[in-house]
Amino acid sequence: MHKDTKNNLVGQPIFSQIVKLLPKNKFDMLVKRYNSDHYYKTFFSWEQLITMLYGVLSRCDSMGELCDSMRALDRKLNYLGLDRSPAKSTAGDALRERSNELFRDFYLILLKHFEEILSVSRIENVKFDKFYAFDSTTITLFSQVMKGVGRNRKNDGKKKGGLKVHMLTDIHADSAKFVKISEAKSHDKKFLQDLTLPKDSMVVFDKAYNHYKQFAEWSEKSIWFVTRMKKNAVFQTQEVMFLDKEKTKGVVCDEHIHLFYKIGKSPKTVCLRRVDYIDEKKRLYNFLTNNFCITPEEVALLYKKRWSIETVFKKLKQNFQLHFFWSETENGIKSQVWVTLIAHLLINVLKRKSLSKKAFSTIAALIRMHLPTNLDLAWLITEGRRTYSKRVRNKSPVAIQQELF
């Protein structure tokens, strides 16, 4: 057999081909808005974004490792608008001082910029065009810099805590729509006040986000939700629409209830629907929804789709470096998280554009291994393997002996 000598090389490295996806003109507008290049003579905002993106994609553990590894690009840096690899101290100062809001806003702009590419799929058996899920994941860190990150450990140990990444995802597109970063001690339901959901949308979430006042407001605005009911919820059954106590699987109860809560000292009531469901493992779930038009089976199905957001968090934690941070400042930590989200978004875009059937983790690993190489990015994602073909003609023993001697 012999190697396939087909040429899959292009004039620019893999990393440069990825950077070309970014709308630099929109980033420059943010730079002017935040005046983030003021007082900087070198290492401007775009250079910091490129440096951090390279570090995220290559999974560098420290700022020193990041700056040293960029030297491997050597003359290829000019494709990225960089004259040289940044010094560790320069990159560290920028990470500490340049506002993370610049990278946050750019990430939100990218969500809108790539919306058409990402919104091409649709979940079957779901009648809602606007179908969202939200949840949070905790990123563990040892740090004293973020207020409320965790508890003090015994025996004078370091303060172990973390930060929370709250995310609203479009389940049809399997992509984030809104993200907020907070300290780990922040209660999940505070995230609800930052959401702006469109009319007739359906949103699913865990019971940690239960906020009865918010439920009442959503009902008035025709914003539908499915969640689980807390054990200490105070309610009164108004009508039993379905009941089958002998059933061992599926929907066993469907009720119209009034759930009671207080605002200050004033008692309030919200009209909801409770669905009891037993899954294949005989586990009982008590679902809450404000939509009375869908079937109780659909209520259970919609909540099951909430687990799609867990796969997004899994991709982030398994494929990117969120165990080691390049800065010990709150601003630096948040900046690294925002750029990690940008990297995750770019790989999702590449996967959708190429129609690749490879797993997200496989694509992320291929990109990480070939960042400095000049392979064609589209070929790497869709093919990404060395091929071999059979010999057309077998050589005779005499010919082989002549070649050897």
DSSP 17-58: HHHTTS-HHHHHHHHHHHTTTTT-SSS-HHHHHHHHHHHHHH
pTM of the model: 0.80
For the cut 50, the answer to whether the pLDDT of residue 148 exceeds it is no
Q: Is 98 exposed, middle or buried (0-12, 13-18, 19+ CB in 10 A)?
A: buried
Rg (CA), the chain: 26
- Residue 183 and residue 147 in contact, taking contact as beta carbons nearer than 8 Å: yes
Q: Using one digit for the tens of pLDDT, what is the confidence trace for 215-250?
A: 999 999 999 999 999 988 889 999 999 998 888 889
How buried is residue 71: exposed, middle or buried, by Cβ count under 10 Å (0-12/13-18/19+)?
Answer: exposed
For 65-102, give the DSSP string.
Answer: HHHHHHGGGGGGGGGGT-SSPPPHHHHHHHHHHS-THH
Burial class (CB in 10 A: 0-12, 13-18, 19+), 142: middle
Selection from 257, 254, 256 nearest residue 298 by Cα: 254
Q: What is the mean pLDDT of residues 197-221?
A: 91
pLDDT bucket at 321, cuts 50 / 70 / 90: confident
Q: Return the pLDDT at 314.
A: 86
pLDDT of residue 228: 94
pLDDT at 403: 55
How much of the chain, in percent, has pLDDT values that exceed 90?
Answer: 35
pLDDT digits (tens, 9 = 90+) for 183-193: 777 767 777 77
Residue 149, pLDDT above cutoff 50: no
Tens-place pLDDT, residues 162-180: 788 888 888 887 778 888 8
What is the token pair recorded at 106? 């750019």
The model's pLDDT over 33-91, given as tens digits with 9 standing for 90+, comes to: 999 988 888 889 999 999 999 999 999 888 888 888 887 776 777 767 677 788 888 88
pLDDT on residue 365: 92
CA dihedral (39, 40, 46, 47) in degrees, to 10, reads: -170
Q: Cβ contacts of residue 167 below 8 Å, gap of 6+?
A: 134, 135, 136, 137, 176, 178, 179, 309, 312, 313
**Arithmetic mean of pLDDT over the chain:** 83
The more confident residue out of 179 and 160 is: 179
pLDDT in tens, 246-272: 888 899 999 999 999 888 888 889 999
Cα-based angle 140, 145, 148 (whole degrees, multiple of 5): 65
At residue 200, the pLDDT reads: 92
Using one digit for the tens of pLDDT, what is the confidence trace for 353-389? 888 888 999 999 999 998 888 888 988 888 755 554 5
pLDDT band at 22; cut points 50, 70, 90: very high
Beta partners for 228? 287
- Give CA–CA dist 64/88, Å, rounded: 6
Is the per-residue pLDDT at 146 higher than 60? no
Cβ atoms of 389 and 1 within 8 Å: the answer is yes
> What letter represents residue 195's amino acid?
L
Q: Is the pLDDT of residue 144 over 60?
A: no
Strands (E), 92-233: 131-142, 150-151, 160-170, 175-183, 202-204, 224-228
| Residue 36 confidence (pLDDT) | 92
Q: Tell me what pLDDT residue 113 has.
A: 92
Could you give the CA distance from residue 135 to residue 303 in angstroms, rounded to a whole number?
Answer: 13
Residue type, 228: R
* pLDDT for 125: 78
Q: H-helix or E-strand containing 116?
A: helix 115-118
